Amino acid sequence: MDRPLLLPSRLRRLVLQRATLCVLGLILQLDALATTPLTIEPALANSYREGVPLASYSVSEKYDGVRALWTGKKLYSRQGLPIQAPPWFTQDWPALALDGELWAGRGNFDTAQSVVARGADNDERWRQVRYMVFDAPKASGTFQDRLAAARSALQSTSAQHVEVAPQWPATSHQALMEQLRAFSHRGAEGLMLRRTDTPYRAGRSDDLLKLKLLDDAEAVVIAHVPGKGKYANMTGALKVATPDGRQFQLGSGLSDAQRHHPPPVGSTVTYRFNGYHASGLPRFARFWRIRDDEPQQTMKDTQTKKMPAESR
C-alpha cells in the first residue's frame, strides 16, 4: 500500500499561508462586488430654442456648481469619479439614487470646485456646500413622479445639506426670457428646463434644456501658443479641441497670471461664445475658466476618446 505524501513542515506552512491569502483575496473581491456603485449615466442638456413645446416642461435655476450623482451610498462625478465628501455631509441621505449639483451659492463656482477637488480633507469648507437635487434617475415614471419620489425619500430622513431644487411650470417664451434676465441679474448662471412627461433618459436629448444669456461649452487644451508683443514670454493663446474634434484658439479672457501659468495640456476649460460660424466653429470664443473637476486627458485621449461634451 502506497504511503501518503508528507510535505516538509516548512512547505506545509507556506502552502497554508498561500491558501489563506487566496481565500482572503476572494472575500475582498466579493465584498468589492457587493459594494460596487450603482451605475448611473447622467442626462445631458441641449440648448433651448424658441418653439419648444413649453407646456411639457418644468423650469428651475441652473446651479453653477459641480454635477454629482448619489448612488444611494456614495457621491460620484458625472465622469464616474468618486467624490470624497466628509461622512457627516451625506449622513442619513436616502438609499434612492439622486442627480444634482454640489452648489456653494451664486457666483461661488470656484468655491464649490475647490471644495470637491480637495475632498474630505477640506472638512469645514464643505459646510458652505449644499446638494441641490433635480432628479431621481432610478425612480420610475415621469419627471414629476421621480421628483415626488425624491421629495418623499428626503422627507422620511433627517438628511441635511441636501434639498430638492425648486421647480415651476414653463408658460411662454416671453415669460421664460424675463425669468432668465431676472435670475441672471441676481447672479444665477441661467435656467434649466426638464420635460415633465418622460422617463429618465441618459445622454443628451431635449428632455433637458439649458438657457443662458451667454453660450458656453467645454474643450480640451491641446497646446500653448507662444505670445507676441506685450505677451512675449507668456502664453498668447490656448489651442483647444472640441468634442467633435474641431480645433481653434482661445486668446482673449486669459489673465496675465493665467498667461504665465496656463491651464496644462490635457485639462478641460470652459469658453464663452456668441453663436457659430457656418464652419461650425464658435464665434468670438473666449476663455472663461478651467474645470478642475474634469479628469485631465493626454494627447492620445483627445484623439481616440470622446471628449467632454458641452457644459450641461
Active site residue 62: yes
Burial class (CB in 10 A: 0-12, 13-18, 19+), 161: middle
Per-residue DSSP letters for the chain? Answer: -PPPP---HHHHHHHHHHHHHHHHHHHHHHHHHHTPPPP-PPEEEEEP-TT--GGGEEEEEE--SEEEEE-SS-EEETTSPBP---TTTTTT--SS-EEEEEE--TT-HHHHHHHHHHGGGGGGGGGG-EEEEEE-TTS-S-HHHHHHHHHHHHHTS---SEEEPP-EE---HHHHHHHHHHHHHTT--EEEEEETTS----EEEEEEEEE-SSEEEEEEEEEEEEP-GGGTTSEEEEEEE-TTS-EEEE-TT--HHHHHSPPPTT-EEEEEESSB-TTSPBTT-EEEEEETTSPP--HHHHHHSPPP-S--
Straight-line distance from the first to the last Cα atom of the chain, in angstroms, rounded to the nearest whole number:
77
Residue 108 neighbours by CB distance under 10 Å? 17
Q: Which of 62, 138, 212, 239 is catalytic?
A: 62
The phi and psi torsions of 104 (rounded to 5 degrees) equal -110, 15
Q: Which residues participate in catalysis according to the annotation?
A: 62
